[in-house]
Structure 1
Amino acid sequence: MTPLSRFALAVDRTNLWIGRTVAWLALIMVLVQFAVVVLRYIFGLGFIWAQESIVYMHGLIFMVGAGFTLLTEGHVRVDVFYRTASPRFKAMVDLFGALAFLIPFCALIAWVSYPYVANSWRVFEGSKETSGIQAVFLLKTVILVFAGLVVLQALSMVARAGLRLAGVTVPSVTGDDDGNDDGEDDR
């Protein structure tokens, strides 16, 4: 196995673990939301920190889970041609798309959001509500985590596409044996 293959597998395993872990927040979020509604409308009790925790969990699910979603090809893709294309063409599209669009977009997000996050850390920004979660700076940091995880997954895509174009098969961590869901052999 080449170093590039090992890199791709390590990134894929990391995003797979992160995605599966973060997915549990969906269940926790539903339970907290249920508790908030019951406490508010049946018992007349409200907890701002509980309501804010729902926003935090929602943000974590989408932002931290984005690399996992990219790994499992869960993002929306206009695949009029891609779906029926050969594995080689798919590799070229993935390579070009990641290098020309995805990585620069994530770099732009990181570059533009860094001052925003840094300012939040500088003052340890908290909730505007007294009894809210005093960790808005941590929530804003998730923007940079999002960019980092998606760039890592994009680099894994680039590595896999390059190896596929070179005729090397890299095992997948998502269940298929060649990294494709097309059911075709790469040769």
Structure 2
Amino acid sequence: MKHTFLRWQHRLTRLTTAVGRLSAWLALFLVLGMVLVVALRYAFGIGNIALQESLTYLHGALFMLAIAYTLAEDEHVRVDVLYQRFSPRTRAWVNLLGTLFLLLPVCAALFWLSLDYVASSWREQEGSANGGLPFVYLLKSLLLVLPALLGIQGLADLLRHTLTLLGTPLAPPSAHPEDTL
């Protein structure tokens, strides 16, 4: 059983890690786009709504695609007043119960509540008014990708914390540099 848990935990985490690392490149394009917007506006007096909206799209995509990777690396903000003092086993219980009763239900609710909203946007092929980008429905689709990726990483974390409770503790992926893409 431990071997199966370990194999699935590794597969799920590799998926969210790969998406997170690829999405990190969006930050570079976001910075370059910002420089371009500022240069066009102040050096040449040119404003471009589509270019400005593309930066908003990139910003949203960056956060929505990288959130599961942040969870995989155990880098989300938490109040560590008591958590720091807990034993690894107690931390595993806290994380397991938090994932099971908070994270996964929130992911399911977010996915469920976003379905109609995203489907409506796709049906209408929603675009931006006033010369913006025509693909708003693609950005809204990330409202389904975010809880899916976060849920996948939540399942991986459930397996990781269960393995810790079974006596096989695993570190977050950043502790394993040989797994880099």
TM-score in same-fold range (> 0.5): yes
8 Å CA contact retained: 1:9, 1:172? no
8 Å CA contact retained: 2:128, 2:135? yes
Moved more, 82-91 or 94-103: 82-91
Does 2:67 match 1:82?
no
| Structural mapping, 1:97-136, within 5 Å | 97-129=98-130, 131-136=131-136
In structure 1, C-alpha distance between the alignment counterparts of 2:93 and 2:66, rounded to whole Å: 25
Two-structure CA RMSD over aligned residues (Å): 1.6
Amino acid at match of 1:143: L
| 1:70 matched residue in structure 2 | 71
8 Å CA contact retained: 2:68, 2:153? yes
In structure 2, C-alpha distance between the alignment counterparts of 1:45 and 1:28, rounded to whole Å: 20
Segments of structure 1 that go 5 or more residues without pairing to the other structure are 178-187
Aligned sequence identity (%): 42
In structure 2, C-alpha distance between the alignment counterparts of 1:34 and 1:168, rounded to whole Å: 48
8 Å CA contact retained: 2:74, 2:172? no
8 Å CA contact retained: 1:8, 1:159? yes
In structure 2, C-alpha distance between the alignment counterparts of 1:37 and 1:172, rounded to whole Å: 39
Aligned residues: 176
**Shift of residue 4 of structure 1?**
1.5
TM-score w.r.t. structure 2 length? 0.92
CA 1:49–1:80: 2 relative to 1, 3 Å:
same
In structure 2, C-alpha distance between the alignment counterparts of 1:74 and 1:12, rounded to whole Å: 14
8 Å CA contact retained: 1:103, 1:154? yes
In structure 2, C-alpha distance between the alignment counterparts of 1:86 and 1:134, rounded to whole Å: 52
In structure 2, C-alpha distance between the alignment counterparts of 1:92 and 1:169, rounded to whole Å: 12
Runs of 4+ in 1 over 4 A off after TM superposition: none
TM-score w.r.t. structure 1 length? 0.89
How big is each residue's C-alpha offset from its partner over 1:1-54, in whole Å with a ceiling of 9 and x where there is no partner? 612111111111111111111111112101101111110111011222110110
Q: Secondary structure at the match of 1:49?
A: helix
Q: Secondary structure at the match of 1:83?
A: helix
